[in-house]
Amino acid sequence: MIWWIGLLLVAVVVTLLVVRRRRRRVRPPVLVPERAPMPEILVEEVEAPPSLAEEPSFAQRLSSSRSLFDRVRSLGARSELSEDQLAVVEEVLLRSDVGVETTNAILARLAESGAPDGVVDALRRELRASLDRPREVRREADEGRIPVWLFVGVNGVGKTTSIGKLAYQETQAGRRVLLAAGDTFRAAAADQLTQWAERTGADVVRAEEGADPGSVVHDALGRAQAREVDLVLADTAGRRVNSSNLIDELAKIRRVADRGPGQVVETFMVLDATTGQNALSQAREFLAAAQVSGIILTKLDGTARGGIVVAIERELAIPVKFVGVGERAMDLVVFDPDVFVDSLLGTSG
């Protein structure tokens, strides 16, 4: 009996050893197919996600000016030009800073030509005709000379900021730009231009406060010639618009800038659109000394009344070439008369 129990124990031990050995057997490796090699560059350029906020249109930026013309747009396609209709047009033009002289001229032409296609289209035609001036911007000088843009205007109109914005746009277009800090009577002006030069990659020439502005422009032209600069943007003083000394200084700066190796190809007067008819008074003080070739109208997107554009071109006979419609560098845009008039009188924003 004892031997039978021993035999049973041996059989159990052997069975356990066999099961354990089977568990220890090495399983054959699982064959995994080779993966294709990953490319070194998955995406050449990652596109920015679309902005949820759409860029405002030109008409939306001129919301203050556009709202003044609501009453004219409400006249719709009415072809009659009664005294009441003309009175509405007159009131709107005067409130929008077109000015008395220009308003009377537009009303006279409307009364003469009528409104066969409606009052709105008739006014659109007259406003567009008032803005019919060549407005090309010159960037080329005579052979061997350096093109210069001069900037004039009273303090506070956005003159130095406009120079910086144009410097940004010109450098983005691939041109080598140099800034001349000719407003030596306002220390902040030179500091502003220096900051814009750092942002845009433009060069800058400045001097100590109170230095001779003409010498700054002269030194700037010398550096521009040595460094083969494509365009010089020269700031000027804007203090005391009614001072004969300042007007004489502007005339002197122009003579220096227009003498070899420089050549003044544009003289921009910077005006603040929010000052309305006062902008015309400022402009007349500069015209004789500065020989202005174009207007830069800033802050047109704010509380400005857009009719000042029409008044400027008709009464000063100088084209508006740039308008400011925002704070960003790209918001100083080339003035397009068709887009401007449609923004005031169009039915959509």
What tens digit of pLDDT does each residue of 45-54 get? 444 444 445 6
Distance from C-alpha of 98 to C-alpha of 47, rounded to nearest angstrom: 45
Q: How many CB atoms lie within 10 A of CB 226?
A: 9
- pLDDT value, residue 64: 84
Confidence of residue 9 (pLDDT cuts 50, 70, 90): low
Domains along the chain?
Answer: 58-130 (1.20.120.140), 146-292 (3.40.50.300)
Query: What per-residue confidence (pLDDT) applies to 150?
Result: 96
**Average pLDDT of the segment spanning 240-244:** 53
Of 89, 95, 120, residue with least CA distance to 107: 89
| First and final C-alpha spacing in the chain | 111
Following DSSP, what letter does each residue of 255-280 receive, concatenated?
A: HHHTSTTEEEEEEEEEEEGGGTTHHH
d(CA 182, CA 214): 7
Residues 6+ apart with CB under 8 A from 211: 184
Cis check for the bond before 261: say yes or no (omega within 30 of 0): yes
264, 258 in Cβ contact below 8 A?
A: yes
Question: In this model, does residue 39 exceed pLDDT 90?
Answer: no
pLDDT at 241 over 90: no
Summarize the confidence of residues 109-122 as an average pLDDT: 87
Burial of 64 (0-12, 13-18, 19+ CB in 10 A): middle
Contact by Cβ (8 Å): 257, 140: no
Q: Which of 98-102, 230-234, 268-272 has the highest mean pLDDT?
A: 230-234
Q: Would you call 125 exposed, middle or buried from its count of C-beta atoms within 10 A (0-12, 13-18, 19+)?
A: middle
Q: Between residues 191 and 240, which one has the greater pLDDT?
A: 191
Query: What integer is the mean pLDDT of 103-123?
Result: 89
Could you give the CA distance from residue 18 to residue 11 in angstroms, rounded to a whole number? 11
| pTM for the model | 0.81
Structure tokens at 56: 């405002």
